[in-house]
Amino acid sequence: MVAAKIAPSMLSSDFANLASEAERMMSYGADWLHMDIMDGHFVPNLTLGPPIIESLRKHTKAYLDCHLMVTNPLDYVDPLGKAGASGFTFHIEVSKDNWRELVDNIKSKGMRPGVALKPGTPIEEVFPLVEDEHPVEMVLVMTVEPGFGGQKFMPSMMDKVRVLRKKYPTLDIEVDGGLGPSTIDEAASAGANCIVAGSSVFGAPEPAQVISLLRNSVER
Ligand code: DX5
Ligand code: ZN
């Protein structure tokens, strides 16, 4: 079994108190903090970028799992590396021509490369990135259209997760969008081990309980 990584999505946090929100999530048992970086172009929303990652890094040692919903991910590699990002996950839809350069750059800045795909993108498109001699270390299967928190989980995406898990038994497979107590079992049994959860964690009266429920489902 691949280790569970529970990653609260800070998109659902109080951005005005990001440092204390991060500390709160880590104290509740989170493994990673999921940071949604959007440029208002790849997706119709604008969130945070390297300066905020840099500020947050001064307050936490947590693994910052950055999800780049931007049109030009290569432009962000150097700034995010300097800012102290841990993981750098780019979208395949905008990286078909330069993913090798991206992966090598991400690694050279000391970050862990991952590739994400939108619901409409076939899973086959990421196989070459996992099988390359300089492979990505995580595949993020989007289970909603990227851009906003609080959307409904798309169960049909579990076919992608199953295909990936069968082909790559030790790969980190992340799911993002609509994950919570009512959808985790489906995602975990398909083979996902890295779980992003925004509204279900931040909106819960006891977020620590939700985090542990998510973990138990993956580790079962
Ligand atoms: C959506 C983001 C997600 C989002 C998930 O584009 O990538 O990380 O914050 O939020 P929930 O868990 O509320 O669907
Ligand atoms: Zn995300």
- Those residues whose beta carbon sits under 5 angstroms from the ion ligand 2 are 36, 67, 176
65 is catalytic: no
104 is catalytic: no
Mean pLDDT of the chain: 98
Nearest ligand 1 atom, CA 11 = 9
The Cα 104–Cα 107 span in angstroms is 5
For residue range 1-32, list pLDDT tens digits in order.
799 999 999 999 999 999 999 999 999 999 99
What is the reported pTM? 0.98
> Considering only CA atoms, which residue is closest to atom 4 of ligand 1?
149
Q: 209-212: long-range contacts (C-beta < 8 A, 24 or more apart)?
A: 210/180, 210/181, 211/6, 211/8, 211/25, 211/28, 211/29, 211/30, 212/29
